[in-house]
Amino acid sequence: MSEHEENWLRLHLTRGLGRVGLFRLMETFATPAAALAAIPAWTTRARIRPTVVAAIPPLDDPQLRAARRTMDGLGVRLLSYWDDGYPELLRAIHDPPALLYLRGTLPAGEALAVVGSRHATPAGRRLTQEICRELAGRRLTIVSGLARGIDAAAHEGAVAGGGSTIGILGCGIDRTYPPENERLFQQVIAHGAILSEYPPGTPPLAGHFPGRNRIISGLCRGVLVVEAAEESGSLITVDFALEQGREVFAVPASVYAPTSRGVNRLLKEGARVVTEARDILAVLWPELPEGVIQRREDRFAASLCGDTQRLYLCLGEEPLHIDELAQKTALTPMEVSAILLTLELQGGVELLPGMRYLRNRKP
């Protein structure tokens, strides 16, 4: 860790010195080193309370030393609002983070935020993966919150598309939350970056996530919502997006599903309808060459013939039981079972609990 970053860390670990206080110090002293050298003048020149001044950690402070060791061990960098590498779109929002902890390499270029339900349906996850895979393949960065459900599917789609992705945390950058996403965390770091405005060791408290959401939307030109309940945290991201002048997109879904009420309300209020990646491209990036977008599953279907192709085309977004497929295709359950086994071995279908099948969008 450089001395410059250590100075920033020391300021950030000062109890009571929040984002506003850091901006005041920089407006007054220009650099963290100059601010630390002028501590006695904080109260008079930067309007910092004496109790905050008294809380500045010394260089041998245990928390400071532990945070420094953690950051060095994980290869974490500190990126400040005043650095050249700070994202320009984020810099332009009215409450940008003063400091960002960074693991990985921050991708350059345009980005789309993707958020949604932590309790996503299989269809919602699959559509999210498909859209993000295609957008990432066109060199657009996918930004999300590394949570369960739609967030995870968005990052997975970006990785599968060979593109870049950014995960924003509501806790310290040394925390894997949720813990089962450890492998996904490493994939995101390898294909982009993880960012947090919270110091190492900060737990994932509920109050941190609204602030995390403003960063997700602030980094991007638009926000896509896939499945969100009426009181979903994803709608907080939408509120930030609208405040920041971003485009809002939503995927329509069943009016009976609890995870659909939020997105369907967004559509009533004017969000742009999305059923495929080109709906987003047409609004935000029409200059990208479109051509004829042929989905992978369409090419896979064209390679099939006879009863196998007919059965495959019966599968869609909602899982179907083997008996339902037999009725749709007029085949016997034994014939359907044999075809499904072949398609599963080819990667064309996915077996779900209860002998239900979905079309695999990555055959």
* CATH 1.10.10.10 domain position(s) in the chain: 296-359
Please tell me the distance from the alpha carbon of residue 43 to that of residue 163, in angstroms, as a whole number.
48
40-49 LR contacts (CB < 8 Å, sep 24+): 46/21, 48/17, 48/21, 48/24, 49/16
Please tell me the distance from the alpha carbon of residue 273 to that of residue 235, in angstroms, as a whole number.
16
**For residue 317, what pLDDT is reported?**
63
* CATH 3.40.50.450 domain position(s) in the chain: 111-284
Tokens describing residue 335:
């014939």
- Residue numbers in the chain where pLDDT is lower than 70: 289-299, 317, 361-363
What is the three-class DSSP state of 14? coil
CB of 9 within 8 A of CB of 199? yes
Q: Which CATH number applies to 111-284?
A: 3.40.50.450
**For residue 101, what pLDDT is reported?**
97
> What b/e sequence results for 161-199 when a residue is b if at least 16 CB atoms lie within 10 Å of its CB, and e otherwise?
bebbbbbbbbbbbbbbbeeebeebbebbbebbbbbbbbb
Tokens describing residue 140:
């657009």
Please tell me the distance from the alpha carbon of residue 339 to that of residue 362, in angstroms, as a whole number.
18
How many CB atoms neighbour CB 338 within 10 A?
14
Q: Where are the beta strands (DSSP E) in 83-171?
A: 99-104, 111-116, 141-144, 165-168
Q: How many residues does the chain have?
A: 363
DSSP state of 324: H
Fold (CATH) for 296-359: Arc Repressor Mutant, subunit A (1.10.10)
Q: Where are the beta strands (DSSP E) in the chain?
A: 77-80, 99-104, 111-116, 141-144, 165-168, 192-196, 222-226, 247-250, 272-273, 320-321, 349-352, 356-359
**For residue 294, what pLDDT is reported?**
42
Q: CA nearest 168: which of 115, 220, 229, 215? A: 215
Q: What is the pTM of this model?
A: 0.80
CB of 22 within 8 A of CB of 99? yes
**For residue 92, what pLDDT is reported?**
95
Q: CA nearest 143: which of 98, 183, 188? A: 188
